[in-house]
Structure 1
Amino acid sequence: MNDREVAEYLLANPDFFAEHAEMLATIRLANPHGKAAVSLQERQMEMLRDKNKHLERRLAELLRYGHENDSIASKFNRWTIRVMAERDPYALPRTIANGLRDVFDMPQAALRVWDVAEPYNQAEFARQVGEEVRIFANSLTTPYCGANTGFEAAQWLAPTLTAVSTEGGSTPEGDQATESIALLALRDPEADEGAATFGLLVMGSSDPRRFHEGMATDFLTQISALASAALSRLLPR
């Protein structure tokens, strides 16, 4: 019999080792953790221990993700309450950006809106943006996360300040560049699907790993949707 036939026979006769239990103690297998041989029973126990360790690591990972998601959901709820409680339309863009910085510990956050109603044309948040920004915002179907490759929107962000030690012992503040960035398109929730954007929300960090291509964007999508709904009051009706 060849290896395949032996394997097929044992699968077809699961009671074989029950009827020949003495063989379990005599079969010797190579120990993956050393040169000494071990019995089939010992090898099976070793495999089960390895499998349990893998399952324990996987469970710990899932629990960590669950705790992280709970924390983010709690922060999102606090930020939502701030946005909904803001009654002044002029202060709303600042409330959205400041809330992201305060609640989510976001180093940098800013936004711009365009094609707003006439009373808001001269507001800081409605300053002129380049046509490339509008085209890029319209192309976003999901939030962009990744390296800052010189986006015009990154210029809206205030530099991150960090203490830098000197030989004299003082700690003057130094600027840190925006290394990673998240860009969220703002669309009128009452407009037809695929309608043009009316703004762009940008978040940045000096940490190149804060926003990356492989990260989940579910919460960012929710932030975009709620910010869009709140800011739509600035549009002409």
Structure 2
Amino acid sequence: MSNNADGVQGITEADIANYLANTPGFFERHAELLGAIQLTSPHGQRAVSLQERQMEMLRERIKGLELKIMEMIRNSQENVAIAERLHRYTRTILLTADAAELPGRMVASLKHEFLIPQAAIRLWGVDVPHNGATYAEPASDDVKSFASSLTLPYCGANAGFEASEWLEDGVTVASMAMIPLRHGMDDKSGAFGLLVLGSPDPTRYAADMGTEFLMRIGEVSSAALSRLRPQA
């Protein structure tokens, strides 16, 4: 039989690999081979022993695990920081005795705690004493339908949404988050308002970003702002 790159006289590399895998005592009986085997280092063309190559592989694996652990720690720290900001936001709401002051306090707190350039709240169906307030100015039927259709906060580019006009300088807003305000996800009456966050950074509110904390903000905000609606 002829020699080739895949084997010698009919013995293939797979045959050798299977033999060594199924013969654990081979290198115990031929320990001198471990020191004689030379491999090419991935960090250059120099030859290294099998033991050295194994150590390099272990170091690379440990380095990869360390990077994953550092990423997990960083994500955990970021989540803790966001949770603390949400806690302070909730505290601000609870300390606001006058319901009419809630929208303004909430917008100011969100901008401060989460470093949001622009934010606004718009409500519809408010109780009579709140008619005429900035947060109760009219919203189109399209906006109301859009808010009620959202099962999750909208995050993405500002495509000329009417809601961007509620912000201080909507022309400069490149990305937006729009959070529906409702009594609950199972509320059949739909949304009674919309919380709008805007940024000139087109990547601040990306379509693929996580919305868990935005949902929590929406739930807390909805519960507080329900005080401005007619009470049954």
TM-score (norm 2): 0.88
2:18 to 8, 16, 35: 8
Q: Does 1:224 align with 2:218?
A: yes
SS of the residue corresponding to residue 115 of structure 1 reads coil
Structure 1 window deviating more from structure 2 (25-34 vs 14-23): it is: 14-23
Number of the residue aligned with 1:173: none
Alpha-carbon distance in 2 for matches of 1:135, 1:122: 22
> Are residues 1:178 and 2:173 paired?
yes
| 150, 153, 174: which one aligns with 1:140 | 150
1:196 and 2:196 correspond: no
Task: Quote the residue 1:107 is aligned against.
Answer: 117
Following superposition, the deviation at residue 192 of structure 1 comes to 4.3
In the alignment, structure 1 residue 81 sits paired with structure 2 residue 91: yes
Residue 235 (str. 1) matches residue 217 (str. 2): no
Question: What are the superposed Cα offsets for residues 2-55 of structure 1, whole Å, 9 maximum, x if unpaired?
Answer: 233332333323333233222112222222221222222111111111111111
What's the C-alpha RMSD, in Å, of the aligned pairs? 1.8
SS in 1 for 2:58: helix
Higher relative contact order (CA 8 A, sep 6+): 1
Q: What are structure 2's unaligned runs of at least 5 residues?
A: 1-10
Task: Provide the residue aligned with 2:159 in structure 1.
Answer: 149
CA distance in 2, matches of 1:130, 1:18: 81
Distance of aligned partners of 1:141 and 1:86 in 2 relative to their CA distance in 1, 3 Å threshold = same
CA distance in 2 between partners of 1:105 and 1:30 (Å)? 52
Structure 2 residue identity aligned to 1:224? G
CA shift at 1:63, angstroms? 1.0
Unaligned runs of 5+ in 1: 161-175
CA shift, 1:91, in A, is: 0.9
- For 2:133 and 2:97, how far apart are their aligned partners in 1? 16
Distance verdict in 2 for CA 1:16–1:135, change over 3 Å: farther
> Number of aligned pairs?
221
Deviation at 1:194, TM superposition (A): 4.4
| Secondary structure of the corresponding residue to residue 141 of structure 1 | coil
TM-score, length of structure 1 as denominator length: 0.87
Q: Which has the larger radius of gyration?
A: 2
2:207 is equivalent to residue 213 of structure 1: yes
What is the aligned-residue identity percentage? 46
The residue identity in structure 2 corresponding to 1:153 is A
Q: How is 1:86-97 mapped onto 2 (pairs within 5 angstroms)?
A: 86-97=96-107
Which residue of structure 2 aligns with residue 167 of structure 1?
none
Cα deviation, residue 118, structure 1: 2.2
| In structure 2, distance between residues paired with 1:13 and 1:212 | 55
